Structure 1
């Protein structure tokens, strides 16, 4: 029986099947600790031990794996998680393992409610949670078992730290039941050159000694366990400058959402920040952070990029991404309701304070600042935002193109802003009416879909010389990068781990080749989908 999922890293292989252990079960809430202070003290020690172990692993590797492990280590040492768990021990008399579990659950709930990129980071928190709980219980954490021979790994999902530590000589392929084309598993698999299929429903139920995996077609089938795999090519190398073979410049920037992300991006050679998600500053806040608090938080993220370009996105919140201090009420369809810039229409002072803090942080760190607004639908909305940003002393202003209406009216939007950035993750959701978090419709969120590419081309054509970036995870796919450049995109912004692969591929092609590929890709895929014009 052949199963279908979403192919996210190309290659055809077969080999013995190894199942990755599931997450730890929820720890018991009893017995009540006899010494609550001592029990609470165990949490910081366990978290420190986990962070040290991850940091030690990071020092033993390089490139993409190192940056991911360093980011996970920073998450394990986050004092907010430790403090929240300690309060649960002292306030509710919970054992330390259960307190860590529940504290992490609160963070995961907030991230999942935030949606998009932040929702995908909930898996990272679960990984850190399991590692700290395992340390407290004195058991081995769940994750990838030690491999002694080449195998196909099968899992419900994989944490970035697990994927980053994989040996491509022993891991023939990755197959997960969950995840999507923009997940960390997909990005890291491509970076490591490991064939991978995600959102493959039912794969954990296959009872066979081996699996045959086609990472291009997205198929998985039972096999006898015999290893069949072509020789792998060397990992890509990139010198930190985004350009084509003919010298045509394409800036390669980073998507970041925290100071740890920014440090990893700088270490990976990013030429700047193409998308700074500012929601992290608000997620756990019971009240709106002051301008001084925001300024300090933003400066910590911007400081590694002094003298370089950074694009800061203003708060992307709403009833689908609730914040404690920003009650929005219930809506029948939150994804189509008051979110993103729409929140600011009734609360302009919230936006004004954030713009002031962003401008102050940029002046403090010496970055080349640009700001952009999320969820803009019309040129009038773009003009409203641009006026407020320029009044705050910010010279370069843009908007996100993630609503189809904005793509269709791009020419009018370019009349009032200096640049745009295509958020292909949300744009795909709205174009195909397909939730990017739902595995059953993951194939519709494939950034190679011709309808999505046609919108990208329309926006680039309307730019008339102004910059057009892509900051969705479409930019992380090396096979798609030349197509996007051929359509007229001038910069690509992605997670740090994808930069080298994208940079290496672009260095091998010239601009005319990119244009030919974009035309061929649109024509061929459009005919197959019945969309040829």
Structure 2
């Protein structure tokens, strides 16, 4: 039995037969051409159109089978294909007489090398470009699209490196675990695997190449270890069963819920052991049907999700269009989140009526969560709309129930207003992805960097305000799925963590029996830290 060290992604462990993936398309494999630049330009445009179609179809499948992390990555891929700098590089290469294959390779090669030399999160983006390069080259060669991998049951997948497209397909295929020679825990492939609860170890190094196909391999994400030929009694290479209910060592109950975008995903969350739904992204109903469903269709979808958790709570976020989630057919000028809903009062009132009807029909408890809150007046305005919606339903004799109201804390404004918001709602929800981006002033595809002191302090302020008001706080961002940061959140006072359905079992195992006083000490020290490296060191120590 031999152990190889790497960087763990997520939690949990798995054992299974090793299966090696073929490497990515690294070379254009095209010689000189006697075709004109115009003919090669047409070939490129056709390949790009095919790639866009492929990405959109894969994005739709990924949204349902894998989740938002995968959908966001594939949407970013499509945007890059029309980046003016990329188009200019391809055009220059074609004008030099290169075939389209070589033009694509030349356009991306320098960026890939530059990203890798930079290191960190930027280096991880090189794999995104490798993914795009492979897709374009396959389209130019007329090769079939890559479908799901043909893998044996309980396979542990090994690869030189893993691009996001491959990670999406592996997560959808339900592989047992993943290990790679190169890679980083901040790369998009790693984020996708972690969001789906697939244990992975990346950056193992060349020693991994000695593993032969079919050999038995253990992957322990929490320990960052790959075990070759593990013993049958090696508990560290086998994933333990998740507890039905999670309690800290002191007996304090902790909830592990799921982020979903449909009733179908809510059913999957129930199968994975989720205690409820911490975030139902209602805008996905519109994004998947090219338009906002009518009131009856919305009522059916919300009630179906509630029925999946008759003894639990389902938190449904009102439409959060804008940014990377534009409303189909809209011009993109509407404001983000609850402000966008208030700017479309008829659509907003219709959704509130559907939610009230679902609250009366569904078995579980419903909380309506307002996204991207930046002003107290927004909460007041929604309350007025909710009053009007219930009055309309009562006048029409339609069964309904007024749901509880919650607010998302995902902007610096919401952090500043947390005491006022907490006094007006039944719960607060931390959207750590957007919160970290807004606090740090970074772009959406940058490293979320929740371990930055400024972000930790913002979270602490919001949780403290909620505690003072006596309302609970849930965390719905990607940070909740990070095993080290999850313990920090619990130490800050978060009592519910909501993650992708497949990540529920691993998070339950991580939090069950957690030492709350030790987690509180960790949180206190992290809040007082001055640098990201200090926070990272504390997280590595753990509670």
Given candidates 364, 368, 371, the residue that maps to 1:371 is 368
* 1:415 and 2:423 correspond: yes
What SS is found at the alignment partner of 2:287? coil
C-alpha distance in 2 between matches for 1:315 and 1:8: 31
C-alpha distance in 2 between matches for 1:214 and 1:270: 22
* 1:461 and 2:464 correspond: yes
C-alpha change, 1:402 and 1:319, in structure 2 (3 Å) is closer
Counterpart for residue 279 of structure 1:
283
Q: For the pair shown, which has the larger CA radius of gyration, 1 or 2?
A: 2
Residue pairs, 1:37-186, within 5 angstroms: 105-107=55-57, 118=68, 120-121=70-71, 141=147, 143=149, 151=158, 153-157=160-164, 158-163=166-171, 165-168=174-177, 171=179, 175=183, 179-180=187-188, 183-186=191-194
Conservation of the 8 A alpha-carbon contact between 2:62 and 2:168: no
Q: Structure 2 length as normaliser, TM-score?
A: 0.64
Deviation at 1:271, TM superposition (A): 1.0
- Render the CA deviation track for 1:110-161: whole Å, top value 9, x for unaligned: 8999xx964632668999xx9xx99xx9998464878999955412223344
Aligned length: 419
Conservation of the 8 A alpha-carbon contact between 1:307 and 1:366: yes
Deviation at 1:342, TM superposition (A): 1.5
Counterpart for residue 505 of structure 2:
500
Counterpart for residue 349 of structure 1:
346
Deviation at 1:239, TM superposition (A): 2.0
- Render the CA deviation track for 1:145-198: whole Å, top value 9, x for unaligned: 789999554122233441464454x8466737984498321334xx45432369
Conservation of the 8 A alpha-carbon contact between 2:320 and 2:336: yes
What SS is found at the alignment partner of 2:372? coil
- Render the CA deviation track for 1:351-397: whole Å, top value 9, x for unaligned: 11011112212322222011011110122222222332354342410
Counterpart for residue 68 of structure 1:
none
Counterpart for residue 425 of structure 1:
433
C-alpha distance in 1 between matches for 2:266 and 2:414: 29
Conservation of the 8 A alpha-carbon contact between 1:8 and 1:197: no
- Render the CA deviation track for 1:382-428: whole Å, top value 9, x for unaligned: 22223323543424101111011111220011122111100011111
Q: Which runs of 5+ in 2 are unaligned?
A: 1-5, 13-17, 26-47, 78-130, 212-218, 391-401, 537-543
C-alpha distance in 1 between matches for 2:531 and 2:55: 43
Q: Which runs of 5+ in 1 are unaligned?
A: 24-97, 219-224, 330-336
Conservation of the 8 A alpha-carbon contact between 2:409 and 2:431: yes
Deviation at 1:214, TM superposition (A): 13
Counterpart for residue 482 of structure 2:
477
- Render the CA deviation track for 1:457-492: whole Å, top value 9, x for unaligned: 111111122111101111112222221111011211
Deviation at 1:293, TM superposition (A): 2.0
C-alpha RMSD of matched pairs (Å):
4.9
* 1:315 and 2:312 correspond: no
Residue pairs, 1:299-338, within 5 angstroms: 299-318=303-322, 320-329=324-333, 338=335
